[in-house]
């Protein structure tokens, strides 16, 4: 339940947005760690119900004006692409709802920024890959997102969170946190720290390939978790990719990898019982196939070759970030219980270890799908 003060606040912000109809109710939505999200429902003149998404944007990590400029640019571009492909632009990309004043977002009396979207009609999202088919469909969806943005002028986007997927810099941040150790938590995470340090040399592989021009800078989503893909209730296929906050210049391999780290695990990101956490090769297999199909030959040979490394570094990096935040006192990722960030870090490292064990199989899967794609 939304508490009263929170409820009143949401209600008051909702009244500032260009929502149509008569307010019905509102409730928290989704499982994001960064923004606060609500769904708000309005009764329409014909008695149908229209659902909007209202989000308070986390302004402690985002420059809201730049972030909104990126989202407007990318969604307008996508809309044109979708129309040209004969798709439905009202459902296949996010549609921003302006404020009653015509602004792209609303600033409340406490200086907090809010924005609104149409809830994608007849869609559903999943926290877990309940079956391989679902995960395969999500790969097609994220791949298609990548393909549709392949000719977007990447230099027009703000780098919303600089060095977001720069794994060596994430490692540097971890080292600084260890050095500072503000809460004395380093002593409780010795094994995890050692795990990272043993892999320090590998962290720069992808950024280095990009620096040398072997892999291109693209428009990337940067948060390609399964729960950022909305599935059409009727067809079971991905209809829309959401959460465009971190769309910015980046590497496709981190997008691919982030999907794998989240979706090809058999357990939740914060599972405490590590026995339940397994890296599922079958899921890696179907996602790879779907992503190659969805991107439809937009990826270069180097990008395809490095897909296993994308999976490994995205997972290692996320674990490094959780560990850093645990050491610093959970200042970035929202937690519901103590040590949740340490648990999150442990699941990521378990997955990394299993990827290392299954490395050759991962490479073979990628090679097979590349071969069958190119044959067509």
Residue 243 found at the interface with Mg ion (CB under 5 A): yes
- Identify whether the C-beta of residue 72 lies closer than 8 Å to the C-beta of residue 91: no
Shortest Cβ 96–ligand GN1 spacing (Å) = 18
Of 211-240, which residues contact Mg ion (CB under 5 A)? 223
- Contacting residue, 243, 255, 285, 330, with ligand GN1 by CB under 6 A: 243
Shortest Cβ 246–ligand GN1 spacing (Å) = 5
Residue 33 found at the interface with ligand GN1 (CB under 6 A): yes
Q: In DSSP terms, which residues pair with 41 in a beta bridge?
A: 25, 51
Residue 317 found at the interface with ligand GN1 (CB under 6 A): no
Of 154-193, which residues contact ligand GN1 (CB under 6 A)? none
Rounded Cα distance between 349 and 346, Å, is 5
Helix (H) or strand (E) holding 315: helix 307-328
Half-sphere exposure of 79 (CA within 13 A, CB side): 11
- Contacting residue, 318, 323, 352, 365, with ligand GN1 by CB under 6 A: 318
Residue 270 found at the interface with ligand GN1 (CB under 6 A): no
- Identify whether the C-beta of residue 290 lies closer than 8 Å to the C-beta of residue 258: no
Rounded Cα distance between 204 and 169, Å, is 9
Shortest Cβ 230–ligand GN1 spacing (Å) = 14
Residue 255 found at the interface with ligand GN1 (CB under 6 A): no
Residue 210 binds which of ligand GN1, Mg ion, none (CB < 5-8 A, kind-dependent): none
> What does the per-residue mask of binding to ligand GN1 show for 200-229, with x meaning CB under 6 A?
-----------------------x------
- Contacting residue, 246, 265, 295, 315, with ligand GN1 by CB under 6 A: 246
Helix (H, G, I), strand (E, B) or coil at 284: helix
- Identify whether the C-beta of residue 28 lies closer than 8 Å to the C-beta of residue 37: yes
DSSP 47-106: S-EEEEEEEEE-TTT--HHHHHHHHHHHHHHHHHHHHHTT--TTTSS--EE-BTTS-SSE
Residues in contact with ligand GN1 by CB under 6 A are 32-34, 223, 243, 246, 269, 318
């Amino acid at each position: 339940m939304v508490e009263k003060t929170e409820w009143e606040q949401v209600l008051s912000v909702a009244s500032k947005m260009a929502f149509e109809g008569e307010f019905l109710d509102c409730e928290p939505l989704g499982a994001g760690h960064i923004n606060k999200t609500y769904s708000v429902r309005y009764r329409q003149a014909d008695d149908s119900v229209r659902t909007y998404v209202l989000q308070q944007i986390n302004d402690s990590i985002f420059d809201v004006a730049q972030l909104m400029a990126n989202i407007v640019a990318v969604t307008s571009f996508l809309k044109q692409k979708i129309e040209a492909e004969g798709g439905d632009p009202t459902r296949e990309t996010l549609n921003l709802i302006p404020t009653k004043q015509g602004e792209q977002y609303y600033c409340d009396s406490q200086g907090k920024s809010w924005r609104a979207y149409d809830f994608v009609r007849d869609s559903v999202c999943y926290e877990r890959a309940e079956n391989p088919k679902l995960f395969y469909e999500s790969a097609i969806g994220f791949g298609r997102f990548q393909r549709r943005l392949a000719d977007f002028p990447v230099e027009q986007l703000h780098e919303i969170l600089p060095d977001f997927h720069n794994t060596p810099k994430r490692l540097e941040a971890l080292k600084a946190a260890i050095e500072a150790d503000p809460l004395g938590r380093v002593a409780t995470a010795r094994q995890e720290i050692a795990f990272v340090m043993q892999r320090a040399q590998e962290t720069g592989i992808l950024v280095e390939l990009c620096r040398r021009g072997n892999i291109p800078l693209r428009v990337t989503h940067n948060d390609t978790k399964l729960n950022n893909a909305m599935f059409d209730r009727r067809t079971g296929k991905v209809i829309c990719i959401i959460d465009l906050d971190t769309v910015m210049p980046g590497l496709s391999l981190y997008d691919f990898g982030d999907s794998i780290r989240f979706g090809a695990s058999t357990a939740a990101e914060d599972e405490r019982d590590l026995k339940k956490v397994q890296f599922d090769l079958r899921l890696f297999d179907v996602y790879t196939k779907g992503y190659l199909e969805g991107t439809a030959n937009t990826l270069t040979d180097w990008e395809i070759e490095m897909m296993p490394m994308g999976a490994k570094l995205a997972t290692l990096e996320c674990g490094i970030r959780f560990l850093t935040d645990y050491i610093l006192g959970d200042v970035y990722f929202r937690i519901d219980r103590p040590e949740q960030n340490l648990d999150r870090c442990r699941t990521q490292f378990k997955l990394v270890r299993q990827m290392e064990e299954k490395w050759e199989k991962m490479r073979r899967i990628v090679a097979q799908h590349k071969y069958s794609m190119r044959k067509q």
